[in-house]
Homo-oligomer: A and B are copies of this chain.
Amino acid sequence: MTTITPTSANDAPLTPLRFLQRSAEVFPQKEAIVYGERRWTYAQFAAEAEELARAIRARIEPGDRVVVLAPNIPEMLIAHFAVPLAGGVLVALNSRLSQREIHHVLAHCGARLLFVDSELTGMVGDAFAATDTLAAVIEIADPEFARTAVPVGPSHESYTVFIESGQPLHGAVAEPVRWTIDDERTVISINYTSGTTGTPKGVMYTHRGAYLNALGEVFHNSFGHDSVYLWTLPMFHCNGWCTPWAVTAASSTHVPIRTVRPEAVWEAIDRLGITNLCGAPTVCSMIANADEAHPVDRPLRITTAGAPPSPTVIEQLERLGITVVHVYGLTEVYGPFTICEYQSEWDLLSAAERAEKVSRQGVAMIQAEAPRVVDADLIDGDLVDVPRDGLTIGEIVLRGNNVMAGYFNDPSATAEAFRGGWFHTGDLAVMHPDGYVEIKDRAKDIIISGGENISTIEVENALVSHPAVLDAAVVGTPHPKWGERPKAYIVLREGHEASAEQILAHTRLMIAGFKVPDFVIFVNDLPRTATGKIMKVTLRVGHGEVVVPANPTPAIALVVVAVPVAAA
């Protein structure tokens, strides 16, 4: 077998840095970033990344972690290139973490630099108290954010001053920045898990994995020169599914937005010609239910994940002319890993049957290996697939170039996640005869009632199909006879009314009686992580009482009316 030893002539380590370098070479004058009144061409985007990289490089050692805590502002996007250009590892922090969690992450990753948006400085507190590795906190004063940037801590440098330190001195030639890397398996970023299931873990991405995932995103989103991408998906979430690199690879236009509000999203769709956006089902629901919602006059594709979109919302969006693509993944696999590829024969199905098909998690993306659904137990040390019957529940396991390098500084958690040579997602699913994976529940959220599995998603979809129901979450509650029984948290649509009895009667028409919840609790809103996952741990705490989320950041006041209902 002839195998080649690569040389510099015929082997370039894969890195998404190349994408910005190329777009700046090829389309220097093309609009790369549109943010409020500010504009960056690709030449300016690359120049600012270089400048920031030079400033960072002067303050870190290669491989040092550089943390950014900011909304979806251009500086966050630019950091996705500038930090690795400087030889650093990017840690984009979830802006919904508590101060305690932020300090945990700063200490755990051994942060050298922390960039923080003015609005969020209060969340950080005294970052220097968190870790002695920290050399500086740099505050980004976003002009789109009205409040004047006031340094809050003792060493909050200004971003403007900091980045100027990367400019060459008057008359001098700028120190060159290397857009290439020596080893494509170098870590490019660490993404901390949202921590719904415990202490956040630091998921390491490599340049190679980010490059390949970005090309996969380009293909599945059909990103091209004319695409205009709206940043409704937080960049701190799996590096925005590698989309900072993907959109740049295709020389498309980025449209970051500071806060995701329905009027801002619809204004961007109408005024800037948005062609693509991504987001959790809450984003889909928000767009579909906005006052501004109207049929779109050019193709718009929403890629959604985090939880299966409800068939009801999919239908609402499709009526507006918006295509919904469902993908599935998690932090550990660079964001999306599977996609619910549309099959042309689904055109012949009823709307309801089609909605069922497209809400599945689907099949491997172009750059990914095929997902498997396996038994909980190894047999002779091997993972064993469940039958492809659409019924037998097992765990989704994944492998390939878009599986994380490992958890940072956590070899035992890494080994546990990789047992049997595959990454264990913790997501319970079935494998359909057509090879499509369908999640039945997060392992920890499944309800087992009388020995029968109840998929909370199935129950939630049934609840949401009631015309008065905007949102619903179902969790298990202990039961002396059945082990567990479902209870439902329901958000009603504004201006709509329905009783628990009415909603449950509707639900009973759609799913088996034993799956119909015993309790209905009406609330104003559901507690969610920044990534759109419902914090079911929080919901389980309450039992009809006023529920105060353990993590105060999302600050959701649950106005609760307990409505016990006779067991089915």
Contact = CB atoms under 8 A, between A and B. Distances in A.
A258 interface: no
Interface string A417-431: 010011100000000
B186 A26 contact: no
A10 B404 contact: yes
A148 interface: no
A71 interface: no
A380 interface: no
A187 B4 contact: yes
15 contacts: A2-B204, A3-B183, A4-B185, A4-B406, A7-B418, A8-B399, A9-B423, A10-B401, A19-B366, A22-B363, A22-B370, A25-B364, A25-B370, A26-B435, A27-B341
Interface in A329-359: 341, 343-345
Given A11-B401, A25-B363, A421-B7, A2 B186 contact: yes
A491 interface: no
The complex is assembled from copies of this chain, and their number is 2
A121 B204 CA distance: 56
Interface string A117-128: 000000000000
Contacts of A30: 344
A36 interface: no
Interface string A12-25: 10100011011001
Interface string A28-69: 011000000000000000000000000000000011000000
B63 A4 contact: no
Contact of A26 (B19, B204, B363, B422): B363
Contacts of A500: none
Contacts of A423: 9-10
Contacts of A14: 212, 401
Interface of A: 1-12, 14, 18-19, 21-22, 25-27, 29-30, 62-63, 87, 89, 183, 185-187, 204, 206, 209, 212, 215, 218-219, 222, 224-225, 249-250, 341, 343-345, 363-364, 366-367, 369-370, 399-401, 403-406, 418, 421-423, 435
A229 to B, nearest CB: 16
Contact of A9 (B62, B63, B225, B422): B422
Contacts of A63: 1-2
Contacts of A187: 2-4
Contacts of A21: 370
A405 B422 CA distance: 32
Contacts of A9: 399, 403, 418, 421-423
A40 B198 CA distance: 50
A265 B281 CA distance: 46
A405 B10 contact: yes
Contacts of A404: 10
A423 to B, nearest CB: 6
A540 B401 CA distance: 52
A345 B407 CA distance: 47
Nearest to A11: B401
Contacts of A87: 1
A91 to B, nearest CB: 12
Contacts of A418: 7, 9-10
Contacts of A341: 26-27, 225
